[in-house]
Chains A and B, each alone.
Chain A
Amino acid sequence: MQNFLHTFFDPNVMARYLPDVLSGMMVAIWIGAAVVVAGVTAGLALACLRTYRIAICDVFIICFADIFRALPPLVLILLLYFGLPGVGVRLSGPVVLFVVLSLTLAAFAEEIFWAGFSSIEKGQWEAGISTGLGFGGTLVYVALPQAVRLAIPPLVNRVLAITKMTALGSVIGVLEILSAATTAQSFSGSATPLSLAAIAYLVLFLPLVFAARMFERRREQSLGR
């Protein structure tokens, strides 16, 4: 037991590498926040665009959403990071991570918001337009608030799953939590930095998990289960 504690929770090693892990946390928070803002905004914009039912736009949006929901993000990350320099475009690790995760989140968010829009009855659109709101007004004041409310529980889950993927940045040299920890592990010859990384992720993401659960339970109750 003593040995186990020493291997995984050595206080000296923890103190030595805590600053690295903390700066990794800051990187993860920044990239994660940027991904959430960009991904959710783009997803919402695409879902709104889809309500106009322009055939060519719809085909493009559906293909985009399908492809980015079907592809593993790590494949895209390696493709952009190692492939683009061959055609003269060199993107840094954090930029590649941001672009790939934002596109992935946008694809899922579009589907989630669109499911929200689809659940709104046709009569509401007709009523909104007939009161003189116009299509755009009905979209913004009638359909959007309802769609967003329906979208929040699944969206929180998806945001959680995708912001967690900032850990993939370690594969392309982004100095986030996991890469700080694996570097520290090989320098210190101790497993403690890995425990430190796990703790750092729990600190960052457990609050989000609790929030996600709260939204789910509330929805279950409102469905009368």
Chain B
Amino acid sequence: MQSLMDQFFNLEIMAKALPLMLSGLWMTAKLCAAVIVLGLGGGLVVALANVSPRRWLRFPSIVFTDIFRALPPLVLLIFIYSGLPFAGIEISPFAAVALAFLLNNSAYYAEVYRAGILSVGKGQWEAARSTGLSQTQTLTSVVLPQAVRNVLPDLLSNTVEVVKLTSLASVVSLSELLYTANMARSITYNASPLVLAALIYLVILWPVVRLVSRFQRRLAA
């Protein structure tokens, strides 16, 4: 029991690792900001192409979402980080993560948006158009606000997944939360920094997970 506490809940080691891990947490925050904004934007573009009546827009967007839903994000990340230099393109770890997750998250966010846009009835389009709004105005001021509201829980739960995914950046040596925790573990030969990292993720994400559950229950009721 004592050895278990020493190995996993060693407060002394946690305190020592904390400053390093806080800098990792800051990097995780920056990474989250980047990939959430990129994913929300990219996903919207892909979703709009997906519901478009034009075939040459619809088809590529379907291929895009299928491919990036089938590829594990880590494979994509390694492919970009270690593969692109072979093509003469040097890329920083941060840029590699941003690019890989832009592709991966856009596909997932696009599916969520798509469901939202389809949940707004056709009559709304027709009504808005007949009052003289243009196609674009109808989309931005009538359809999208309702679409986003309808799928808010799914957008939120996908964002939880996106935040969790940023931990993969540790594999390409980007010094985010998990990377710094694992570094502290290898220096101290003690797993407590990893436990601390898990606790930090929990403190940030548990309330959001709860919120998503409550949202979904209210929608079901």
Which of A39-47, A48-56, A91-99, A159-167 forms contacts with chain B?
A159-167
A83 touching B72, Cβ below 8 Å: no
Interface positions of B (Cβ within 8 A of A): 3-4, 7-8, 66-67, 69-76, 78-79, 82-83, 86-87, 115, 118-119, 160-161, 164-168, 170-171, 178, 181-182, 185, 189-191, 194-195, 197-198, 201-202, 205-206, 208-210, 213, 216-217, 220
Inter-chain contact B75/A178, CB cutoff 8 Å:
yes
What number of A residues sit within 8 Å (CB to CB) of B? 57
Contact B167–A8 (Cβ < 8 Å): no
Least CB distance, A164 to chain B, in whole angstroms = 4
A167 and B70 contact, Cβ closer than 8 Å, known pairs A72-B165, A198-B79: no
Q: What number of A-B contacts does a CB cutoff of 8 Å give? A: 149
- Check if A206 sits within 8 Å of B70, measured CB to CB: yes
A16–B127 Cα distance when bound, in Å, is: 62
Q: Enumerate 9 A-B pairs (CB-CB under 8 Å) in ascending A order.
A: A66-B209, A70-B206, A70-B208, A71-B201, A72-B178, A87-B7, A198-B79, A202-B71, A205-B71
| The one of B66, B161, B194, B213 that contacts A78, using a Cβ cutoff of 8 Å | B194
A37 at the interface (CB under 8 A from B): no
- Cβ-defined contact, B194 with A201, below 8 A: no
Chain B contact residues, majority secondary structure: helix
Query: How far apart are B209's CB and chain A's nearest CB, in angstroms?
Result: 5
In the complex, what residues of A have CB within 8 A of residue B171's CB? Answer: 171
CA distance A67 to B203 in the complex (A): 10
The residue on B at minimum CB distance from A223 is B119
Determine if A194 and B79 form an interchain contact, defined as CB atoms under 8 angstroms apart. yes
Query: Are A209 and B70 touching (Cβ within 8 A)?
Result: yes
Chain A residue at minimal CB-CB distance from B189: A86
Q: How far is the CA of A115 from the CA of B220 in the complex (A)?
A: 8
Q: Please state if B83 and A71 are interface contacts (CB–CB under 8 Å).
A: no
A7 neighbours in B (Cβ, 8 Å): 86-87
Distance A168 CA – B168 CA, assembled complex (angstroms): 9
Per the bound structure, the CA–CA distance linking A24 and B132 in Å amounts to: 59
Rounded to whole angstroms, the CA-CA distance of A190 and B86 in the bound complex is 7
A82 within 8 A of B: yes
Known: A167-B74, A201-B75. Contact between A71 and B164, CB under 8 A? yes
Q: A213 → chain B, closest Cβ, in Å? A: 8
Q: Is the C-beta of A74 less than 8 angstroms from some C-beta in chain B?
A: yes
Q: In the bound complex, what is the Cα–Cα distance between A168 and B166 (angstroms)? A: 13
Give complex CA distance A115, B214 in Å: 11
Check if B66 sits within 8 Å of A206, measured CB to CB.
yes
Q: How far is the CA of A101 from the CA of B106 in the complex (A)?
A: 24
Inter-chain contacts of B160 with A (CB < 8 A): 69-70
CB pair A70–B202 under 8 Å, yes or no, is yes
Measured CB to CB, the nearest residue on chain B to A79 is: B194
Take A8-B87, A78-B182 as given contacts and tell me if A71 and B194 are in contact as well, using a CB distance cutoff of 8 Å.
Answer: no
State whether A83 touches B191 (Cβ < 8 A). yes
Question: Nearest A residue to B4 by beta-carbon distance?
Answer: A87
A202 to chain B, nearest CB (A): 5
Which residues of chain A come closer than 8 Å to B202, judged between CB atoms? 67, 70-71
Q: Which residues of A contact B74 (CB under 8 A)?
A: 165, 167-168, 170, 178
- B194, chain A: closest CB distance, angstroms: 5
Cβ of A75 and Cβ of B83 under 8 Å apart? no
The residue in chain B whose Cβ has the minimal distance to the Cβ of A68 is: B209
Closest to A213 in B: B66
Instruction: Tell me the complex Cα distance, A78–B171, Å.
Output: 12
**Given A69-B160, A72-B167, A190-B86, A165 and B191 contact (CB-CB distance below 8 Å):** no
Picked from B66, B115, B210, the residue with its CB within 8 Å of the CB of A210 is B66
What chain A residues lie within 8 Å of B69 (beta carbons)? 160, 205, 209, 212
Contact A70:B205 (CB < 8 A) given known A201-B71, A209-B69: yes
Q: How many angstroms from the CA of A204 to the CA of B79 in the assembled complex?
A: 17
Nearest B-chain residue to A88, judged by Cβ: B3
Q: Does B198 contact A167, Cβ atoms closer than 8 Å?
A: no
A67 contacts which chain B residues (CB < 8 A)? 202, 206
